[in-house]
């Protein structure tokens, strides 16, 4: 299971909208001012598709995550499940 917490601010809304379009992803409002993006399998996000500036892109995980960053480049990140309990 992969869980990504995304701060509910305008700069990160493209991440939430992109995740809503991914197969096997669920997005819901979480505690406080965060969205919870969850998937039983990997989550792949693309910076250019979301039209994020690099500064926002490199802050994408400031809300926290449960998963392992398998690849993270200038334009794409792939987060895979880990065996860590939620």
Topology of domain 2-80 in CATH is Phenol Hydroxylase P2 Protein (3.90.56)
Express each pLDDT in 32-80 by its tens digit: 899 999 999 999 999 999 999 999 999 999 999 999 999 999 999 999 9
Domain boundaries, the chain: 2-80
Residue length of the chain: 86
Q: Quote the pTM value.
A: 0.90
State the Cα–Cα distance between residues 43 and 80, nearest whole angstrom.
Answer: 7
DSSP 24-50: T-EEEE-STTEEEEEESS-EEEEHHHH
Q: For residue 26, which phi and psi values (nearest 5 degrees)?
A: -120, 145
3-class DSSP state of 15: helix
């Amino acid at each position: 299971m992969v869980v990504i917490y995304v701060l509910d601010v305008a700069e990160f809304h493209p991440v939430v909208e992109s995740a809503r379009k991914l197969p096997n992803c669920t997005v819901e409002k979480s505690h406080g001012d965060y969205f919870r993006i969850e998937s039983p399998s990997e989550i792949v996000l693309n910076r250019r598709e979301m039209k994020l500036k690099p500064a926002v892109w490199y802050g994408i995980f400031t809300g926290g995550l449960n998963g392992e960053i398998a690849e993270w480049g200038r334009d794409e990140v792939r987060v895979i499940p880990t065996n860590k309990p939620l």
